[in-house]
Structure 1
Amino acid sequence: MIKFFEAVFQNLSTWGLPVLVLILGVIEFSLGLYKKHWSKNERILDIVCYTIPKIVVRPLVTYFGLKFLPLVLPDLKSVFDWVPFWWGFFILCIADDLTQYWYHRLHHEVPFLWRFHRTHHSAPYMGMAMASRQNIIYTIFFSQTYLTTTLVYLGLGYPALFVKGIKSIITTLAHSSIPWDKPFYEKKWLNPIAWVLERLISTPATHHAHHADSNDDGVGHYKGNFGNMFFLWDIIFGTGIITRKYPSGYGLKHYQEEEWYAQFMWPIFKSKKEGSELSANGPMVQDDPIPVPVAVRSEEPVIGKSKLELT
């Protein structure tokens, strides 16, 4: 068993990561952590989003990229192969994840870009299954695919692949429905480690907050916590909150469970759901619905009114 997991981690850039995701996904599913949210439409969408980029998009980008780069940069092949591995690893961690932070953040802050990233936030659950859930346009223009290809050509292939493997593990575990970070908050002797961990990398608590369906519970923070591998960027740019808690709900308040093909290939295919952001005449950004009034207990009785009042 130990040798098997050693092989998995040694082959993260090829078959290792899919196997790891499959194992953890089976654990999540067997524990019932997806509850009743994983409908047929959601299953198809998650599977398509996971497989197509890996077997079609990224291989094609890498293949044609390595054919194209010698034409435009003929004298730079392997120019950085003298760089020590760990220096290359350190530089790439920053270059790779910082560019993704801004790519991700812009898709939340620029209305025109939101619908290309919306698919990742439509899932009403967290888990391995939805970690790769993205619109195909978002995936095609994803900067890291081109960056990794270019770095391999320039001679930083090993550090680039190593960074990719480590990052894949961190981001996959951050999306997991298993709160593996919880013991770090509950056990006092682990608190110092938790303080560093939650500020350095994305954890379930910090990243789940980004996928919350509301900010009203004081935990959700879908307009922040943009970090992928490193949560450090949110600390530096002031977009992060740390509560050590998990949101009460996930996804979009206005989610209509649009057809999987519309979520995956919008605007090539559009949803038939009226009023959807992905429909032919839908809004660019759908506002959250007006909250239904809820009963709260008044501290002091008011003459002529019940102690239960509507806010």
Structure 2
Amino acid sequence: MALDKVLAKKIGKDIGVSLFIYALPVVALFAYFAIKGQTPWVNNTHQPANVDVPAVFKFLEPALKNIRSWGFLVIALVLGAIEFALGLYDNKWTKSERKVDIVCFLAPKFLLPPVTAFFSLKLLPLILPGLANEFSWVPFWAGFFIIAVADDLTQYWYHRLHHQVPFLWRFHRTHHSAPYMGMAMASRQNFIYTVFFSQIYLTAALIYLGLGFPALVVTVIKSFITLSAHSSIAWDKPFYKYKALHPVAWVLERLISTPATHQSHHADTVGDGVGNYKGNFGNMFFLWDVIFKTGIITRKYPTTFGIKFYKQEEWYAQFLWPIFKSKVAGSELSANGPEVGDEVGPVLFDESDLYVSEQLKREAVA
């Protein structure tokens, strides 16, 4: 299935805009030092950065490091237990679905660290010799924005292309196969998709170059946002319910991923005016969907999730396709299965497609 020419042209145009966005934090950094008349990079000693960070982050540094390692395992398990206790999975968490969720949650914790460690400790010194801590002179605020933009915008593109390029869809399909929504979706991924997460290696390179602590802070904040956006606990509902909070909601839902905007991405239909699995690609920042017009905002939640052509494939096929293929006839993951079981290309939005629903527009006018 070839990539549509109109879509290819839009992707090319959006990538050009993205290159400009990537450059903005760097331009702001050099403009800041130009105004101050300083050139700290000239006498850079390449020593580990003595990071000038807000006191709250210094105070929380031990906790942040623990959260990034084992802390999120605890948080995810507690959140999952709450979702289960509240019955938010209904009766859809079958034995086969549990296998997929548990394997996808636990296995990468053991399989991925050796890969990333090899890249960080062995490959980076070969790829970027003599550049360790090259950016140690960068202040915390600049490092934070450089990492936040570089990491999340790269993941936006990685995610978007796996929906828009038919060949890539099956590597990401596992993330959308479950007929329910919940915390487990945050880690429910094909391992091949996970191990090639482009932003992992970009962020590792920036850490090697001296932006370690800003990367730590961004990672923790992003993990909280993405985990809560995947949760079936609709923590954003109060912002939509109470009129006094509507201005906050307007900013929040355009800046970061929320349960409403991200659940829309996991809906199994686009025909109800709420679901948008052909868009709403943002992970930490929903802002990318606003900029590239790939998102819709309805302040509503889908009633059904997953993919209509899901055949409940074996856990090993969902986790390790194409190394292991499904034995289910007609499945996208089977040996002779279709590349896509349905259209997965995006709707090409025009200016009017990024919207708050018609009802909310009427409320705004009123």
TM range (shorter): 0.7 to 0.9
C-alpha deviation, 1:7, in angstroms? 7.4
C-alpha deviation, 1:148, in angstroms? 2.3
Greater shift, 57-66 or 69-78, is seen at: 57-66
Residues 125 and 250, structure 1, Cα contact 8 Å, conserved in 2: yes
C-alpha deviation, 1:30, in angstroms? 0.7
Match of 1:81 among 136, 150, 154: 136
Alpha-carbon separation, structure 2, partners of 1:132 and 1:182: 24
C-alpha deviation, 1:170, in angstroms? 0.4
Alpha-carbon separation, structure 2, partners of 1:54 and 1:157: 21
Aligned pairs for 1:247-286 within 5 A:
247-286=302-341
Residues 66 and 149, structure 1, Cα contact 8 Å, conserved in 2: no
Deviations 1:14-49 (A, max 9, x none): 111111111111100111111111111111111111
The residue identity in structure 1 corresponding to 2:81 is V
Partner of residue 200, structure 1: 255
Partner of residue 23, structure 1: 78
Deviations 1:31-82 (A, max 9, x none): 1111111111111111111122222213432234322211232210011111
Alpha-carbon separation, structure 1, partners of 2:230 and 2:249: 18
Partner of residue 297, structure 1: none
Deviations 1:168-215 (A, max 9, x none): 110010000001000000011111100000000000000000000001
Residues 7 and 16, structure 1, Cα contact 8 Å, conserved in 2: no
Alpha-carbon separation, structure 1, partners of 2:339 and 2:332: 6
Residues 134 and 209, structure 2, Cα contact 8 Å, conserved in 1: yes
1:37 equivalent to 2:92? Answer: yes
Residues 150 and 203, structure 2, Cα contact 8 Å, conserved in 1: no
Alpha-carbon separation, structure 1, partners of 2:285 and 2:324: 34
Residues 65 and 216, structure 2, Cα contact 8 Å, conserved in 1: no
1:147–1:155 distance in 2 versus 1, CA, 3 Å: same
Aligned to 2:173, the other structure's residue is in SS state: helix
Partner of residue 12, structure 1: 67
1:111 equivalent to 2:163? Answer: no
Match of 2:264 among 199, 203, 209: 209
The residue identity in structure 1 corresponding to 2:256 is I
Count, aligned residues: 284
1:185–1:24 distance in 2 versus 1, CA, 3 Å: same
Residues 64 and 216, structure 2, Cα contact 8 Å, conserved in 1: no
C-alpha deviation, 1:287, in angstroms? 2.1
Greater shift, 237-246 or 11-20, is seen at: 11-20
Match of 1:48 among 103, 126, 136: 103
Alpha-carbon separation, structure 1, partners of 2:128 and 2:233: 45
C-alpha deviation, 1:11, in angstroms? 2.5
Alpha-carbon separation, structure 2, partners of 1:149 and 1:64: 8
Residues 210 and 225, structure 1, Cα contact 8 Å, conserved in 2: yes
TM-score under structure 1 normalisation? Answer: 0.88
Partner of residue 295, structure 1: none
Alpha-carbon separation, structure 2, partners of 1:7 and 1:177: 30
1:169 equivalent to 2:224? Answer: yes
Match of 1:127 among 146, 163, 182: 182
Match of 2:211 among 156, 176, 183: 156
1:10–1:71 distance in 2 versus 1, CA, 3 Å: closer
The residue identity in structure 2 corresponding to 1:270 is K
Deviations 1:248-278 (A, max 9, x none): 2000111111101000011111111111101
Alpha-carbon separation, structure 1, partners of 2:326 and 2:143: 44
Aligned to 1:11, the other structure's residue is in SS state: helix
Partner of residue 198, structure 2: 143
The residue identity in structure 1 corresponding to 2:247 is P
TM-score under structure 2 normalisation? Answer: 0.75
Residues 227 and 233, structure 1, Cα contact 8 Å, conserved in 2: yes
Partner of residue 146, structure 2: 91
Alpha-carbon separation, structure 1, partners of 2:294 and 2:156: 11
Alpha-carbon separation, structure 2, partners of 1:8 and 1:246: 34
The residue identity in structure 2 corresponding to 1:60 is V
Alpha-carbon separation, structure 2, partners of 1:25 and 1:258: 23
Residues 289 and 295, structure 2, Cα contact 8 Å, conserved in 1: yes
Alpha-carbon separation, structure 2, partners of 1:148 and 1:274: 40
Partner of residue 301, structure 1: none
Alpha-carbon separation, structure 1, partners of 2:61 and 2:155: 29
Partner of residue 71, structure 1: 126
